């Protein structure tokens, strides 16, 4: 049997404690944002980030610099960067022509884009720019 006094009790409780309504609504909004991934960084094409990028063989992941190529909801497509000399692997890698923000020394870029979750992005180091994106597209077609 349903207690008909319950709505009245709830109304009295909320009338005495209006802050309770704000608290409950805030908790619901926070929960929904967390479930939808709204707290993940918003990356833009051409930005340089450090991200947890999985190894190609799926055995783990490594925090490495990446350049964001595009974004699709909760996912971003990135170009992985490395400081290890990849001169011998000209079909898979290209030497980055100029230093990128947040990186020191020479870098090579993997010409095979990788799709990762936005939540894998750790910290933004700067902007590679649209010229770099154009260079990357050209390097991938050679």
pLDDT tens per residue across all 142 residues of the chain: 555 666 777 777 777 777 777 888 888 877 776 666 555 678 999 999 999 999 888 899 999 999 999 999 899 999 999 998 888 888 899 999 888 998 988 999 999 999 999 999 999 999 999 999 999 999 876 6
Give the burial class of 34: count Cβ atoms within 10 A of its Cβ; 0-12 exposed, 13-18 middle, 19 or more buried: exposed
Strands 121-127 and 108-110: unpaired
- Which residue carries 């910290």 as its tokens? 123
The three state secondary structure string of the chain is CCCCCHHHHHHHHHHHCHHHHHHHHHHHHHHHHHHHCCCCCCCCCCEEEEEEEECCCCCCEEEEEEEEEEEECCEEEEEEEECCCCCCCCCCEEECCCCCCCCCCCCEEECCCEEEEHHHEEEEEEECCHHHHHHHHHHHHC
Give the model's pLDDT for residue 120: 95
């Amino acid at each position: 049997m349903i207690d008909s006094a319950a709505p009245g009790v709830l109304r009295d409780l909320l009338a005495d404690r209006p802050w309770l309504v704000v608290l409950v609504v805030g908790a619901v909004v926070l929960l929904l944002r967390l479930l939808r991934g709204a707290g993940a960084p918003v990356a833009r094409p051409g930005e340089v980030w450090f991200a947890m990028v999985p190894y190609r063989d799926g055995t783990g992941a490594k925090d490495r610099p990446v350049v964001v190529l595009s974004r699709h909801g909760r996912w971003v497509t990135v170009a992985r960067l490395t400081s290890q000399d990849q001169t011998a692997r000209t079909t898979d890698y290209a030497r980055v022509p100029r230093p990128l923000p947040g990186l020191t020394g020479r870098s090579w870029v993997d010409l095979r884009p990788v799709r990762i979750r936005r939540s894998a992005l750790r910290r933004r180091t700067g902007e590679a720019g649209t010229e770099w994106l154009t260079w990357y597209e050209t390097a991938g077609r050679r």
